[in-house]
Amino acid sequence: MVVNFRRFRKCQVRQLMMTCFVISAVMVYWESSDSNLTNHVKSYSLRHLLSSLDFISANLTISRGEARRFSDHQYLINHEQKCTNRDVLLLLFVKSSPENFERRQAIRSTWGNEAYIERTLGVSVRVVFALGLHPSPSQRKKLQEMLHQEDEKYNDLIQQDFLDTFHNLTIKLLLQLGWTHAYCSNAQFLMSADDDIFVHMPNLIHYLQEVRRSGVKDFWVGKVHRGAPPIRRKDSKYYVSEEMYPWSMYPDYTPGAGYVVSKDVAARVYEASLTLNASLYIDDVFMGICANAMGISPQEHAFFSGEGRAPYHLCIYNQMMTSHGHVKDFHELWRLATDPEVQKVSLGLLGKLYCTVAKIRLLCVPQFQNTYPCRAAFL
């Protein structure tokens, strides 16, 4: 991740312009073909889902008493006053596992540093970590002691007494929705994120401030999966049986790695979760089911990476919102992403041209199809 700020010679500029022209011409054809495929899938999805989604939500509806068993867990660590007397722009819930101390610390010292955000960006953001119990009884006692010590120092852990496993991720989502409803309903936006995600907080804050000023309602943004089918392969981590989910497609949803909703959406999704069967352990899909039951659809944002990791490049950082799959490089990425010199690279005609070509080369190739789309190169 070395940043190079050398000036370009005239011949290099001509070469860049020719490259940009050729690649752009190719991409017009590529994007057109991709659009046709996407429209076909969307058309099929709409035909299928319009006839079945009401049926899905109706069949997953249960009584409040039955639904309570999924969310009726005791708090082991809680901070009821975290959001009181504050004009909170964003409540950011990071899904973490009890043993991931280093990841939480890296987040606190980079993009999740509340003091830095308030001092530098002038807004109040609350960052908390959602946890369950470590699934191993032999390790649980020692880890609980360490978690209490960690929380005494940072006051940012929210933990309930369910087992912290992949198959309990929907319960962790219910923890986030329930805690937000009970203790931080005043936050203008709620973000759910994994603890291996990088968030470009300055870009995100500026974006959310614009959204708030526009008065948008039903706001739910991230990388959107449309018309995705359940995975039926039993060897897959994401396997879902037909007994659990008998339909051929999921409602539209955003990957749980990182997405943002407005407070009205958070409240309505929480309300829907009170009467829906949460036994489906794919938490982001369950979020989509809850939202769909309330008539809410997600919006695609080109610079939310979903499951993918964004390519390392100075021209990417100016527009980055999230990048998934980071553990050891939080500090270096944070340094580069917030470097004022990096932000100057895309200024001016030559800067814009250079960054367009660089983004085309980085994003318009198959190996990066799980992160930002090719069209992001032209934004």
**pLDDT (tens digit, 9 = 90+) per residue, 250-297?**
999 999 999 999 999 999 999 999 999 999 999 999 999 999 999 999
The pTM of this model reads: 0.87
End-to-end CA distance of the chain: 23
Q: Which two tokens stand for residue 113?
A: 């540093």
Contact partners, residue 247, CB within 8 Å, separation at least 6: 52, 56, 230
CA–CA distance, 8 with 11 (Å, rounded to integer): 8
**pLDDT (tens digit, 9 = 90+) per residue, 199-211?**
999 999 999 999 9
Name the percent of the chain in helix, strand, coil, to the closest 5.
50, 15, 35
Contact partners, residue 346, CB within 8 Å, separation at least 6: 315, 318, 352, 354, 355
**pLDDT (tens digit, 9 = 90+) per residue, 193-251?**
999 999 999 999 999 999 999 998 899 999 999 989 999 999 999 999 999 999 999 99
Mean pLDDT of 319-334: 93
- pLDDT, position 16: 52
- pLDDT, position 370: 65
Contact partners, residue 296, CB within 8 Å, separation at least 6: 218, 220, 265, 268, 269
- pLDDT, position 333: 93
Quick one: pLDDT band at residue 32, thresholds 50, 70, 90? very low
User: For residues 22 and 57, which has the higher predicted lDDT (pLDDT)?
Assistant: 57
CATH annotation of 67-300 = 3.90.550.10
**pLDDT (tens digit, 9 = 90+) per residue, 98-109?**
999 999 999 999
What letter does residue 100 receive in the DSSP assignment?
Answer: -
- DSSP state letters, 181-198: HHH-TT-SEEEEEETTEE
